[in-house]
Structure 1
Amino acid sequence: MAEGGPKKLWGGRFAASTERLAEAFNNSLEFDRRLWREDLEGSRAHARMLARQGILGAEEAQAILAGLDRIEEEIESGVFPWRDEYEDVHMNIEARLTELVGEVGGKLHTARSRNDQVATDLRLWLRRALVGLVEAQQKLARVLVAEAERHLEPPVILPGYTHLQRAQPVLLSHWFMAYYEMLSRDTTRLLDALFRMDESPLGAAALAGTSFPIDRHYTAGLLGFLEPMRNSLDAVGSRDFALEALSTIAIGQLTLSRLAEELVLYSSFEFGFVTLPDAFATGSSIMPQKKNPDIPELVRAKAGRLLGDLVALMSVVKGLPLAYNKDLQEDKEPLFDAVDAYRASLELMAAMLPGLEWHPETMKRAAAGGFALATDLADYLARKGLPFRQAHEVVGRLVRYLQEAGRELESLSLEELRTFSDLFDEDALALLSVEGSVASRNVYGGTAPEQVRARIAEAKEELEEDAP
């Protein structure tokens, strides 16, 4: 290699390449441009406040507001000139504003920093996104309740499981309502997150506030926040509101993942309880007999992805000193990804559930099999006065007897029952049917039709009260 070659190469082409890499690495426009609406919203509030406080002249404020309106029109019509050299959505909008209205556009940033600007934009975006997720949750909740009601008359019976072993029969309606309860708690968590993030960072400036006589309460009100954040360091340097939102979204996706998993199992040949609508499943590329539950499987897989989003942001903020650090640029992609995936999962589940084709006879046979009614007989003996542990032993012997004979409980006669305990009477035979077993669980929260019907009625009232 010629003398001085490596140095020349490093100082020339390599250095230029590294510069471009650093610029691209620093650029967030590709993903944060979706905050444009919130950036305009925050800028309008800031401009109005500056004019109200006499920091901007009325004509200056009007020019800025008109420029922001023009930018909104350009973005919505797809003609806005997004430029990578301006690094992010905020600088792109500010640069375009100055092009449109002249030097007065630069006055918009008076008493403001990108630090409080981006924190405000993100809260505004996330607040709107969470409201949309709550609405999607409510839609799915209504579907769950409607499906529970639809399968209550006549009652469709499903095997209940513990440890994925057949345990006791339950109503399919009870199963639907279990997911309604879980989803309801997911909704309250999102509402809690919305309440705690209802504060405005705007006016915190870079980290210490500003020497200009601004009115942070006024801008908070214009933006629909309950109040301004009380500490400027906290306002620009904290992302716990995003962590809480991500956590609640991840928990919500876990609920959908469990529902999806059961549909994957129940639609398999081994279970045969349900057939998925064609629009939510696909055939195998080489096996014509297969119908793959693609959408439930993807909903299940998204849970892992959303947990990754949560861990990613937790890892970003875990060791950050106050106040703002560039690390916080990494707060948006996990949030955007999680919100998008969760919303799609909610909407797909709400669309798929009404199209499920359940197979009641197959489910009933499974519910009656595997000695699932044994506990009912043990409970019967306990009600007759036999200590439950002894009743458990009696029924255990009875089950072993049937297993050796290759028979099921429902085949027992009263005479056979009495060979195991003379406490058995005619009414014990009613417990040898899945209908009798389900009906006997007539306690608050139980699977008896009366209890499930009452809970469905309550849920319908709850959803009516929560309707927008």
Structure 2
Amino acid sequence: MKLWAGRFQKETDTLVNDFNSSITFDARLYREDIAGSIAHAAMLGKQGIIEPHEAEKIIEGLQAILADVEAGQVEFSLDNEDIHMNIEAELTSRIGDTGKRLHTARSRNDQVAVDFRLYVKKEISKIIGMVLNLEGVLVKKAEETLDAVMPGYTHLQRAQPTTLAHYMMAYANMLRRDVTRLEDCLERMDECPLGAGALATSTYPVDRFQTAQALGFRKPTENSLDSVSDRDFALEFLSACSILMMHLSRFSEELILWCSWEFKFVELDDAYSTGSSIMPQKKNPDVAELVRGKTGRVYGSLITLLTVMKGLPLAYNKDMQEDKEPVFDAIDTVEMCLPVFTAMLDTLTVRRDNMRRAASGGFINATDCADYLVKKGLPFREAYMIVGRLVHMCLRTGETLDTLPLKDFRSVSALFDADVYQALELKTCVGGRKVYGGPAPDAVQAQIDHIKDFLKERGK
């Protein structure tokens, strides 16, 4: 018999039973459900809502169930609909009528809200740790490539010289924002909905501060109606995960380009590449491609939950059962992508010569050429036009700015002198960009040091 069967005179149709059930996916909340029930039972006993010996018996029963679930000795049933009813039914079957007292002053509405928050809190901490590990690899790669000159791009066209270290720290800064977004999400959701009841709390003298503290929350939620209706914490989490995956996807796109024969800036380790079933020469960046593809799954989870929530009146509605699967899928996806992406990045080989060769073409020192003239007193717009004419001249003659004869420089401006070649050296171009945040080695080292401090503050 279902725990809510008193009002009903018919058994639930099998189709409805299967359709209504969530145990197939919310079973993963068993630890959080048992933890919430233990905290609730302890509070009931302390407040005299049930006898202290009954609370002790319930807590011991729940602890035994947890151990048996962990050992694979408990089988959940579709007839009990969800994880909450499965645990309560199992408890009652073990300790008798005392188990029926557990649900005093509680609803499944606040029960699922606390379970879900506990679970997402735990997974946020795990994901933050994974992102920090990736940041550590980026720091290591950056320190190894402070002098690895490469072209920087806009519109996927060679634009200005930079270094691989500068690139690595760009992604490190993105990931730092991801960490702080997840930390902000964690702080905002650190409120306990247990005790809100179905929507209007209870006539029993429950102590919500006790249960909040017992479960590791900063405080109880402020409004009971909002407590059971709120899924903002899940939406904010999915939003942060979507942005994180977007960053991984952009990075994946770069790596996919860079390990192609057209670039050959990096080579992926054999352990993080795959081959072709028909073309024996192929070495495919499948890990990066899958990360790029799986980003869409996480976006889909965010859109799913936004759509579920957009038209719901207060308080709980059965639609909200659809909150868990997208969150679970996003968690599984992110936690699958981060470690393999980190290992792939950690093991790749940097092809410095190819990067340097690419940086020598495409006139990426053209801006530096214009700046050379500006430093000699010419307005930038005039310098820009002169260098544009020089580039056109090089395209006609097959030269680069580095190889163009001095007489050709002087044919467009008498301000050019032999020192122009030193100014156009890639090392000079990169090393001169010492502005805070720039690609000069000292500037990048400062960025590395900031990320190291960030990691150290978080125990990494």
Q: TM-score range by the shorter chain?
A: over 0.9
Q: What is the match of residue 135 of structure 1?
A: 129
* 2:246 alignment partner, one of 221, 245, 254: 254
- In terms of mean alpha carbon deviation, does 78-87 or 417-426 score higher? 417-426
Amino acid at match of 1:404: R
1:61 and 2:55 equivalent?
A: yes
Q: What is the match of residue 31 of structure 1?
A: 25
Q: Describe how 1:60-459 pairs up with structure 2 within 5 A.
A: 60-152=54-146, 155-459=147-451
Amino acid at match of 1:364: R
Residue ranges of structure 2 left out of the alignment (5+ in a row) = 1-11
Per-residue deviation at 1:184? Answer: 0.2
1: distance between equivalents of 2:197 and 2:310?
Answer: 23
Please state whether the residue corresponding to 1:187 is helix, strand or coil.
helix
Per-residue deviation at 1:413? Answer: 3.0
8 Å CA contact retained: 1:275, 1:356: yes
Per-residue deviation at 1:432? Answer: 2.5
Per-residue deviation at 1:458? Answer: 2.5
Q: What is the match of residue 21 of structure 1?
A: 15
Please state whether the residue corresponding to 1:158 is helix, strand or coil.
strand
Please state whether the residue corresponding to 1:409 is helix, strand or coil.
coil
2: distance between equivalents of 1:370 and 1:117?
Answer: 62
2: distance between equivalents of 1:303 and 1:459?
Answer: 25
Please state whether the residue corresponding to 1:167 is helix, strand or coil.
strand
Question: Per-residue CA shift, 1:166-190, capped at 9, x if unaligned?
Answer: 0011110000000000000011100
* 1:50 alignment partner, one of 30, 44, 52: 44
8 Å CA contact retained: 1:169, 1:367: yes
Residue ranges of structure 1 left out of the alignment (5+ in a row) = 1-17
8 Å CA contact retained: 1:368, 1:433: no
2: distance between equivalents of 1:381 and 1:95?
Answer: 82
2: distance between equivalents of 1:436 and 1:237?
Answer: 60
Aligned length: 450
Amino acid at match of 1:139: N
2: distance between equivalents of 1:66 and 1:387?
Answer: 82
Amino acid at match of 2:150: L
| Runs of 4+ more than 4 Å apart | none
2: distance between equivalents of 1:437 and 1:32?
Answer: 57
Per-residue deviation at 1:433? Answer: 2.2
1: distance between equivalents of 2:248 and 2:188?
Answer: 25
Question: Per-residue CA shift, 1:395-448, capped at 9, x if unaligned?
Answer: 011000110111222112333322221111232111322211111211111101
Amino acid at match of 1:123: R
Per-residue deviation at 1:352? Answer: 1.2
Q: What is the match of residue 15 of structure 1?
A: none
Q: What is the match of residue 458 of structure 2?
A: 466
Q: What is the match of residue 6 of structure 1?
A: none
Amino acid at match of 2:154: T
Q: What is the match of residue 11 of structure 1?
A: none
Please state whether the residue corresponding to 2:383 is helix, strand or coil.
helix
Amino acid at match of 1:35: L
Question: Per-residue CA shift, 1:227-272, capped at 9, x if unaligned?
Answer: 1111111000111111011101110110111101100111111111
1: distance between equivalents of 2:275 and 2:213?
Answer: 54
Amino acid at match of 2:383: A
Per-residue deviation at 1:463? Answer: 1.3
Per-residue deviation at 1:370? Answer: 1.0
Amino acid at match of 2:391: V
Please state whether the residue corresponding to 2:158 is helix, strand or coil.
strand
Question: Per-residue CA shift, 1:194-234, capped at 9, x if unaligned?
Answer: 01101111001111111111101111111111111111110
8 Å CA contact retained: 1:273, 1:363: yes
Amino acid at match of 1:223: L
